[in-house]
Chains A and B, each alone.
Chain A
């Protein structure tokens, strides 16, 4: 049973498009993380949030605690945004993160 579900699993977009990746979780959480993984590379933290909305450059992350749902938006997408985007949650006092299976994003020029 996966407590964190991401959609879509795969997403192909044209350069310049607005992109949304969704994350739903089933337990109460203390924090939600969005991570980025480039092909052959490591994992980088994009956002950590527990409420509201955060913005960094062209990336925006939102979370709705009541609906147990978070979205990652990318405005004016670019081929360099092509990567796997991973949602992870820390529930309550849990000593670990629970990860979604990731969304593979491909942005075509």
Chain B
């Protein structure tokens, strides 16, 4: 049981480049989300999805796109990377968006934009 798998673990981009962070879960979870973690701050929600075909913006969505074509996959796209997007990104999933359900996190992607 792999849980939540994120790729890549590390990435360096040049300003203006685009890329996709991959996230997959094998637990048949409805709810998936992307967070960024910056020094001295709590994790902040970028985008989330409550099921295939349904996505919504979180607290810091600008510069990022998501899609949810299947239950398993929830990729995060950086359209035109900026140094302000240097961060550690975490994908998470849970069985349900509401109620007392445990959250499962991926190993994180450390992104540096130069």
Contacts and interface: CB of A to CB of B under 8 A. Distances in A.
B103 A95 contact: no
Interface in A58-109: 86, 88, 93, 95-102
B69 to A, nearest CB: 20
Contacts of B41: 101
B105 A48 contact: no
B105 A43 contact: yes
For the complex, would chain B's binding face be called helix, strand, loop or mixed by DSSP majority?
Answer: loop
A97 B58 CA distance: 10
Given A42-B90, A45-B102, A96-B48, A2 B107 contact: no
B13 interface: no
Nearest to A50: B100
Contact of A42 (B50, B58, B108): B108
Contact of B107 (A4, A31, A41, A101): A41
A42 B90 CA distance: 8
B40 interface: yes
B99 interface: yes
Nearest to B33: A96
Contact of B90 (A43, A95, A96): A43
Interface of A: 2, 4, 30-31, 33, 35, 41-45, 48, 50, 86, 88, 93, 95-102
